[in-house]
Structure 1
Amino acid sequence: MSFQQGLSGLSAASQSLEAIGHNVANANTVGFKQSQVQFSDIYAGTLTGSGGNQIGIGTQVARVAQLFSQGNVSKSDNPLDMAISGNGFFRMSTNGAISYTRNGQFTLSKEGYIENAAGARLTGYMADANGVVAIGAPTEIIINKADLMPEATSSYELKLTLDSRKGNLVAADFDPTDPTTFSDSTSAPVYDSLGNVHTLRTFYVKTAGGEWSVFATNDGVPVDTGSTPQGLIGTMSFNEGGVLTTTPSTMTVPMEVTTGAYTPYNIVIDHAGTQQFAQDFGVSRQLPNGYAAGTLVDFSVSNNGEIVGRYTNGQVNVLGQVILSNFANPNGLQNIGENQWVETAESGVPMTSTPGSSGLGAVQSGRIEESNVDLTAELVNMITAQRYYQANAQTIKTQDQILQTLVNLR
């Protein structure tokens, strides 16, 4: 009697219900990928080969495949949370053991490591003090909370519009404390090697129709360039169209600091683009570099995985870079629970690179990838699996009735 077909059908339907139940239970699990039970038929082997007369003996579970389709991406209130939009897995390390996950819910440990709820640490590339990412062997990412070192000002882009209507003055009469000895001026904060801020003020003295002398003071004191009069750092000439003709357009300002320990330094002012017109004095570009020391305030992750820190001095600096891994056969990965998979021979070796490259997806900061379980579809599948179970139970009942009929023959 063919009880075997019914029994195999009951077993298959039961395992299908287990997979459906697992999917439903993880409908709210971040980064979860639903499972799908796939079946195959069973035929008894024969030595002679019965051809078209062969009857199958039931069904079996061929494999339980995971569907790695993209889940919905939703906003998170945790800035450390990350979602992968596209292919790839976060590469995690647990005491050196590597695993992979799509769950990007991360926190910062007391040591500064980015880790998940299971204690696995996110891996990637670290950056040096200058924000240069060292691409090489992936390592556990640790957030460097050290202060950002100060940088002395070395260049100063300054684009002006000078008023050609101003009267001519005598450069030798320049006095930074007397506004009648210069035509216009502007100032900007600059920094020495220790991050102390100083005020660099530049003065413009019109000496002829298209001729201007440029002076500078450091914290109110004329700079010493060895030129006469004191504080003179250069001259500028303009043609009849008001275009600067002096080349090069740069002037060097020696900075001497009298308070605290410091390193004397020079600032190169570039007046490229400065013009002379019959209009009021104006500043259209004023960009000195350099900054004071800064303390890390917070950090965020860009789409390409760069971890960018923001400091109290207004500067930003790259602290590291998140990497992603992908596999030729993701279904070959072994699920070890806690939203993590490990590499197997069937999955192939991982292809690891930065987000957005080599076919890998982008990383979205402050986002999470929801489970890809479709509850409506799972509930329909549950009804279908239940009917399969009932139908297979009915075949066993029918076979039992037939057997009872044979037993009752006289």
Structure 2
Amino acid sequence: MAFTTALSGLNAASNNLAVTGNNIANANTVGFKKSRSEFADVYASSLGGVSNTTAGAGVRVANVAQQFNQGSLSFTDNNLDLAISGEGFFTMAKSPTETNDITYTRSGEFKLDKDGYLVNNQGKSLMVYKPNGTAVADGFSTGVTQPVQINTLTGLPSATDTVSLAVNLNANETVPSVTPFDPTNNNSYNSQTSVTVYDSLGSPHILTTYYVKGASTASTTDWSVYHYMAEPATPTARTSINAGTYGTAVAAPATTTTLPTPAVMTFDSSGKLQTPVSGRFALSDYTILPATGAAPVKVGTMDFFGSTQVQEKFSVNTMTQNGLPAGRLTGIDIDDEGVIFARFSNGGSQTMGKVALTRFANTNGLAKIGDTAWGQSANSGEPIPGEAGANNFGQIQAGALESSNVELSAQLVNLIVAQQHYQANAQTITTENSIMQTILQIR
């Protein structure tokens, strides 16, 4: 009967109105994907099939399909907000301790919880690939995901083992009048410079370098380079592992009971460093033992690459060392490949992980579970893990959120169409009712 057919049309129109209303309601929901109602006609068939003259039995809702096209990016002031520009989902665990219950989302509104874990508004933990070390060059274990915990970190100290100095030694200098070299007598050396180095606990120590001009020929000039380390605060002498006893006074650089053999730099007639060619010296004889219980401070390499000897005053052009004191967390950065960096007040940084992305062969087959999240289903296929910017995965934009892909103007038009559809089917029922009344009134 036409009543049944019209009723199916009312149900279909009602479904279309509900889907459109849901799209409009979530027009401002971050990461939301709009849906559309998909319909199929209905025919009553028998073993003989459907006759060419058989009227349809109405309509049914075949599917409410979500549209996973890209939403626009809205930039924010929070660098923990993340957006995926391209394919992929953020991988979320139920909690930092329940990491086997996995869901997927496009909403990147992340924040730190009370324990320092990166979570979304529902308390689910963002999963990242485990770093193999503290630097990006160490790589990531892409088969191992874990929650990322950030704000409880301290920038760990790093002991100095290499110092780089690029200096200019004045070519007009003469051989010192006092020999042998004595670090407490400034007439026994031409120039000096100091740099702060750090032990394994992050405590500072002073490494002083002395330059003593030596023999010169028509083609070369030699300079002897001495190094002494002193603890800046305590005047107590320490015993060196390799080179006797070093004092620790700050005002007067320490001497040794046995003077270490100096390193020798040779410059050619144009003022370029000739020996060593690489500019690097191994300094195995220069060591102090910190009173704090830290490992011995042993600067194994002094790098003088780029040093010159020209007719200018002594100058230090560059001075760096690779040690760090302890530091506190000052910020978090996330790059477009999803690498999470923790920055510390000591100038150091540490990689905390790489955001784990997931995609599916059939995205429309994902199960809708609410809170702008989806779950794996039989129709979606197996999850395909990956990294941002690789293997068809999109880039990650920090400090941005992916807006809903709902276009309000299109939804309002669809609302009008669905309303007309509903009214037309209601009119079918009214017409059928009038026919029935006419038939019943015939005597």
Q: TM-score w.r.t. structure 1 length?
A: 0.90
- Paired with 2:60 and 2:54, the residues of 1 have a C-alpha distance of 18
How large is the Cα RMSD of the aligned pairs?
2.5
- Preserved contact between residue 252 and residue 266 of structure 1 (Cα < 8 Å): no
3-state DSSP class of the match of 2:84?
strand
- The alignment covers a number of residue pairs equal to 407
3-state DSSP class of the match of 1:90?
strand
Matching residue within 384, 393, 398 for 2:426:
393
State yes or no: 1:183 paired with 2:190: yes
- Preserved contact between residue 303 and residue 362 of structure 1 (Cα < 8 Å): yes
Matching residue within 200, 208, 215 for 2:207:
200
Match of 2:281 in 1: 251
Structure 1, unaligned runs of 5 or more = none
Amino acid at match of 2:109: Q
Matching residue within 189, 209, 215 for 2:226:
215
- Paired with 1:129 and 1:109, the residues of 2 have a C-alpha distance of 25
Q: Which 10-residue stretch deviates more, 5-14 or 133-142?
A: 133-142
Deviation at 1:225, TM superposition (A): 9.9
- Paired with 2:437 and 2:58, the residues of 1 have a C-alpha distance of 22
State yes or no: 1:150 paired with 2:157: yes
Deviation at 1:179, TM superposition (A): 5.0
Task: Report percent identity of matched pairs.
Answer: 40
Match of 2:62 in 1: 62
Q: Which 10-residue stretch deviates more, 167-176 or 56-65?
A: 167-176
Amino acid at match of 1:165: N
Matches within 5 A, 1:95-244: 95=98, 96-127=100-131, 130=134, 133-143=140-150, 145-169=152-176, 172=179, 174-176=181-183, 181-209=188-216, 210-219=221-230, 220=250, 221-222=253-254, 224=256, 226=258, 230=259, 233-244=262-273
- Paired with 2:28 and 2:257, the residues of 1 have a C-alpha distance of 70
Deviation at 1:409, TM superposition (A): 3.9
Matching residue within 257, 266, 273 for 2:298:
266
Deviation at 1:319, TM superposition (A): 2.0
Deviation at 1:175, TM superposition (A): 4.6
- Preserved contact between residue 265 and residue 273 of structure 2 (Cα < 8 Å): yes
3-state DSSP class of the match of 1:277?
coil
Structure 2, unaligned runs of 5 or more = 231-249
Q: Which 10-residue stretch deviates more, 320-329 or 117-126?
A: 117-126
- Paired with 1:183 and 1:376, the residues of 2 have a C-alpha distance of 80
Deviation at 1:262, TM superposition (A): 3.3
Deviation at 1:270, TM superposition (A): 1.2
- Preserved contact between residue 242 and residue 275 of structure 1 (Cα < 8 Å): yes
- Paired with 1:377 and 1:50, the residues of 2 have a C-alpha distance of 37
3-state DSSP class of the match of 1:159?
strand
- Paired with 1:346 and 1:407, the residues of 2 have a C-alpha distance of 51
3-state DSSP class of the match of 1:272?
coil
Match of 1:12 in 2: 12
What is the CA deviation profile of residues 38-80 of structure 1, one whole-angstrom value per residue up to 9, with x for unaligned ones? 1111122133345543432222111001111111222233332
- Paired with 2:297 and 2:406, the residues of 1 have a C-alpha distance of 63
> Structure 1's 293 and 51: CA in aligned 2 closer, same or farther, altered over 3 A?
same
> Structure 1's 92 and 50: CA in aligned 2 closer, same or farther, altered over 3 A?
closer
State yes or no: 1:323 paired with 2:356: yes
Q: Which 10-residue stretch deviates more, 254-263 or 267-276?
A: 254-263
Deviation at 1:171, TM superposition (A): 7.5
Deviation at 1:367, TM superposition (A): 1.9
Match of 2:341 in 1: 308
Amino acid at match of 2:196: P
Amino acid at match of 2:66: Q
- Preserved contact between residue 225 and residue 231 of structure 1 (Cα < 8 Å): no
State yes or no: 1:45 paired with 2:45: yes
- Paired with 2:151 and 2:69, the residues of 1 have a C-alpha distance of 35
> Structure 1's 171 and 110: CA in aligned 2 closer, same or farther, altered over 3 A?
farther
Deviation at 1:232, TM superposition (A): 5.7
- Preserved contact between residue 89 and residue 104 of structure 2 (Cα < 8 Å): yes
Deviation at 1:146, TM superposition (A): 4.1
3-state DSSP class of the match of 2:268?
coil
- Preserved contact between residue 157 and residue 271 of structure 1 (Cα < 8 Å): yes
State yes or no: 1:33 paired with 2:33: yes
Q: TM-score w.r.t. structure 2 length?
A: 0.84
- Paired with 1:225 and 1:90, the residues of 2 have a C-alpha distance of 64
Matches within 5 A, 1:324-343: 324-343=357-376
> Structure 1's 76 and 367: CA in aligned 2 closer, same or farther, altered over 3 A?
same
Deviation at 1:246, TM superposition (A): 0.5
- Preserved contact between residue 149 and residue 293 of structure 1 (Cα < 8 Å): yes
- Preserved contact between residue 113 and residue 140 of structure 1 (Cα < 8 Å): yes
3-state DSSP class of the match of 2:274?
coil
- Paired with 1:292 and 1:70, the residues of 2 have a C-alpha distance of 45
